[in-house]
Amino acid sequence: MSHVAAAKNLYNNLAYECETAMALVDILLEEQACLVKMETGALNSLATRKEAMMLDLEKRYLANIELSKAAGFAPDLDGIALWVDVLAADEPRLFGTYSTLRSTLTHAQRLNTTNGELVTEQLAGLQERISILTAAAVAEQKPTASDTYGPKGGMAQSALTGGAMPRAVIR
Give the model confidence (pLDDT) of 68-111 as tens digits: 999 999 999 999 999 999 999 999 999 999 999 999 999 999 99
- Strand-pair partners of 155: 149
Task: Calculate the CA 1 to chain-centre distance.
Answer: 40
- What is the CATH classification number for the domain harbouring 82? 1.20.58.300
Instruction: Tell me how far apart the alpha carbons of residues 114 and 120 are, in angstroms, rounded to a whole number.
Output: 10
Instruction: Tell me how far apart the alpha carbons of residues 74 and 70 are, in angstroms, rounded to a whole number.
Output: 9
15 within a domain of the structure (yes/no): yes
Residues 6+ apart with CB under 8 A from 23: 53
CB 94 within 8 A of CB 84: yes
Domain interval for residue 19? 3-141
Work out how many domains the chain is built from and give that number: 1
Quick: pLDDT tens for 24-77. 999 999 999 999 998 888 999 999 999 999 999 999 999 999 999 999 999 999
